[in-house]
């Protein structure tokens, strides 16, 4: 999806699970040789030279190089825990000090069994919120529980706030600095708890944020940012946009787009949070503009000298030297392309989105040329991804919404009447809808359908859908409408049935998002209204006549066109 980004999937050796340990059969008589690799290289799944004190790759990428201690030390863990002060135990992997839920390096999508063992919420995250038995029983609405829900669901796709341990420590040492941020996080956490009404939290939080006397601090900007995302996906787009605009104005007044704001911060974790806050504003501003079909977004034209975010595993550990935009722009000319964080590649994608916005206002000829250029930018972005990032991007499907946005208006995937009132669908201008068909239509049709298929496949990933950003609802709705248009106007035979199954998958994803987010419930209703007309009335006969993987029947003419 467009906005959804997340941490890297870690090596299986990081997944410390009692379940996995119980599966080990009889002990082996011989040891297994394991090549030594530092934590940054293992987290990125790249070859490590195992140099001491720092490997060559970490030196080249300016990362802090460190190695995991020997597993033999695990036998003394209990003894070590007895000697460890209580205020230090929260830093350990899986620590539970002060009620802290287990913290792990397993921040990617993993099978559900391993996933449950890492979240610390057991049944609260293992199934759908509405169906979980533990959620049907009365539970407390304590701040700690709501913060846990925020970190286990929302934070994974929006990693702007400082990590959980550091946040809770600051909440004890300096609660005044989090006066506005903490209630917003609790409100968002309450959205994921079906046994708690979020309305009371929502009204209190939004009334506080409406105050004209909000302090101009980085924490206030951060509170406004995450509140804007939640409000927007609660189907209050205008209010969400207003909150985000206020956050942007405050951030620019504080000069968070400059190098100095974050660099003056003595705490490296907090400095990284400030960098993430500004770039989070940038990406969210672009996402809101894309969803609302604006011609551009405000921060697209603002000069930014703030450094780039680091990897998620580094954010939870040791913050490396920040990389700059200049380094990123020069990466393609290096003999060995350096690896940047996943967040950085998302920022670049948001910049490409800024160049694509406003296509619906172009004439046919202008639109054709603009789509060609946009397609080149997207493909160049993907082709220049380092090898170790290719799989991550393929799983996240960040670019699929942009491809649908650019190619569908020029394709043969006609629009349903109800799509004219859907908040996600960018309709082309009338001249594009009524234009004559040409030979390039099929190229745009194919690319739009491939993007829709990739977006629908996101739902099949082995991780909880609610851990994706709710801004993914837009891309999922676009993909579902595109697939239904293909079934109504283009496809036949086995391809029709395969695409219908992807429509069902998309509807299931919208239903799952709808358990928390009102915007998804509306899209689900509109998509089902179209689906009833498409799939109840049309059941094509199976045909095996396909060429090149695409076999289309267009409209009511019944003409067989092969691509």
Q: Would you state the torsion angle of the CA atoms of residues 246, 250, 252, 258, taken in this order, to the nearest 10 degrees?
A: -130
Instruction: Give the chain's largest Cα–Cα span.
Output: 79
The CA angle 274-277-279, to the nearest 5 degrees, is: 110
Q: What is the DSSP letter of 553?
A: E
Rounded Cα–Cα distance for residues 372 and 357 (Å): 14
The helix (run of H) or strand (run of E) holding residue 373 is helix 364-383
User: What DSSP line would sit under 211-260, residue for residue?
Assistant: -TT---SHHHHHHHHHHHHHHHHTT-HHHHHHHHHHHHHHHHHTTTTSHH
Rounded Cα–Cα distance for residues 445 and 453 (Å): 12
Per-residue pLDDT of the chain (563 residues; tens, 9 = 90+): 444 444 433 333 333 233 333 333 344 444 433 357 887 787 676 788 888 878 888 777 767 777 765 544 433 444 433 433 323 333 332 333 333 333 232 333 333 333 333 333 334 444 444 433 334 344 568 999 999 999 999 998 999 999 999 999 999 999 999 999 999 999 999 999 988 889 889 999 999 999 999 999 999 999 999 999 999 999 899 999 999 999 999 999 999 999 999 999 999 999 999 999 999 999 999 989 888 777 789 999 999 999 999 998 899 888 999 999 999 999 888 888 889 998 998 899 889 888 887 676 666 677 777 878 888 888 888 888 887 776 555 444 444 555 555 544 555 555 555 455 455 555 554 444 444 445 566 666 777 777 777 777 767 766 788 888 898 888 888 888 888 888 888 878 888 888 899 999 999 999 999 999 999 999 899 889 888 888 875 555 543 433 334 444 333 333 333 33
Backbone angles phi, psi at 511, to 5 degrees: -65, -40
Closest Cα to residue 262, out of 405, 152, 160?
160
Rounded Cα–Cα distance for residues 479 and 401 (Å): 8
Rounded Cα–Cα distance for residues 519 and 513 (Å): 9
Encoded tokens for 268: 């490296």
Rounded Cα–Cα distance for residues 478 and 322 (Å): 36
User: What DSSP line would sit under 70-107, residue for residue?
Assistant: PGGGGGGHHHHHHHS-GGGGGGSTT--GGGPPPP-S--
The structure's pTM equals 0.71
DSSP-assigned beta bridge partners for residue 552: 491, 561
Q: 387 and 339 in contact (C-beta within 8 Å)? A: no
The helix (run of H) or strand (run of E) holding residue 388 is helix 387-396
Rounded Cα–Cα distance for residues 471 and 287 (Å): 8
Closest Cα to residue 334, out of 392, 379, 384, 383?
384
Q: Would you state the torsion angle of the CA atoms of residues 527, 529, 531, 536, taken in this order, to the nearest 10 degrees?
A: 170
Q: Could you tell me where the beta strands, DSSP code E, fall in 13-170? A: none
Q: 409 and 432 in contact (C-beta within 8 Å)? A: yes
Cβ count near 546 (within 10 Å) = 15
Cα end-to-end distance, the chain, whole Å: 27
Q: How far is CA 19 from the centre of its chain?
A: 28
- Name the 3-class secondary structure at 496: helix
Q: 440 and 473 in contact (C-beta within 8 Å)? A: no
């Amino acid at each position: 999806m467009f906005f959804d980004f997340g941490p890297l999937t870690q090596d299986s050796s990081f997944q410390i699970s009692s379940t996995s340990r119980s599966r080990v059969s009889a002990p082996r008589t011989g040891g297994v040789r394991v090549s030594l690799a530092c934590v940054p290289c293992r987290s990125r799944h790249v070859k490590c030279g195992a140099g001491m004190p720092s490997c060559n790759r970490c030196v080249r990428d300016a990362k802090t190089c460190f190695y995991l201690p020997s597993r033999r030390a695990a036998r003394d863990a209990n003894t070590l825990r007895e000697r460890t002060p209580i205020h230090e135990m929260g830093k350990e992997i899986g620590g539970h000090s002060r009620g802290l839920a287990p913290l792990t390096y397993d921040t990617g999508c993993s099978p559900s069994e391993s996933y449950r063992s890492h979240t610390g919420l057991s049944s609260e995250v293992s199934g759908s919120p509405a169906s979980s038995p533990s959620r049907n029983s009365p539970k407390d609405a304590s701040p700690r529980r709501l913060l846990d829900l925020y970190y286990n669901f929302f934070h994974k796709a929006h990693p702007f706030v400082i990590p959980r341990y550091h946040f809770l420590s600051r909440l004890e040492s300096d609660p005044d600095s989090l006066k506005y941020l903490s209630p917003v996080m609790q409100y968002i956490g309450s959205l994921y708890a079906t046994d708690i009404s979020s309305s009371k939290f929502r009204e209190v939080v939004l009334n506080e944020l409406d105050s004209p006397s909000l302090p101009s601090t980085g924490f206030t900007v951060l509170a406004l940012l995450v509140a804007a995302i939640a409000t927007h996906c609660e189907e209050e787009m205008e209010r969400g946009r207003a909150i985000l605009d206020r956050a942007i104005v405050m951030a620019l007044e504080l000069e968070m787009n400059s190098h100095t704001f974050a660099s003056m911060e003595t705490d490296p974790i907090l400095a990284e949070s400030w960098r993430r806050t500004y770039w989070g504003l940038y990406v969210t501003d672009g996402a809101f503009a894309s969803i609302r079909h604006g011609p551009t977004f405000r921060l697209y034209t603002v000069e930014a000298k703030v450094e780039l975010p680091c990897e998620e595993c580094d954010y939870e550990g040791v913050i490396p030297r920040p990389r700059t935009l200049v380094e990123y722009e020069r990466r393609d000319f290096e003999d060995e392309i350096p690896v940047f964080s996943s967040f950085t590649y998302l920022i670049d994608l948001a910049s490409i989105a800024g160049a694509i916005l406003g296509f619906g206002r172009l004439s046919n000829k202008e639109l054709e040329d603009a789509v060609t250029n946009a397609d080149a930018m997207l493909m160049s972005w993907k082709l220049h991804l380092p090898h170790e990032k290719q799989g991550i991007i393929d799983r996240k499907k960040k670019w699929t919404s942009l491809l649908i946005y650019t190619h569908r208006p020029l394709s043969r995937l006609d629009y349903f009447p109800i799509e004219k009132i859907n908040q996600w669908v960018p309709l082309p201008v009338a001249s594009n809808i009524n234009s004559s068909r040409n030979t390039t239509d099929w190229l745009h049709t194919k690319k739009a359908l491939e993007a829709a298929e990739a977006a629908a496949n996101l739902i099949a990933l082995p991780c909880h859908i609610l851990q994706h950003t709710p801004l993914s609802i837009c891309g999922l709705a676009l993909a579902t409408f595109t697939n239904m248009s293909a079934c109504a106007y283009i496809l036949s035979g086995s391809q029709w049935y395969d695409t219908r199954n992807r429509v069902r998958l998309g509807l299931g994803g919208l239903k799952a998002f709808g358990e928390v987010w009102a915007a998804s419930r509306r899209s689900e209703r509109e998509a089902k209204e179209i689906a009833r007309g498409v799939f109840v009335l049309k059941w094509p006969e199976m045909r095996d006549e396909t060429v090149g993987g695409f076999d289309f029947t267009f409209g009511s003419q019944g003409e067989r066109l092969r691509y």
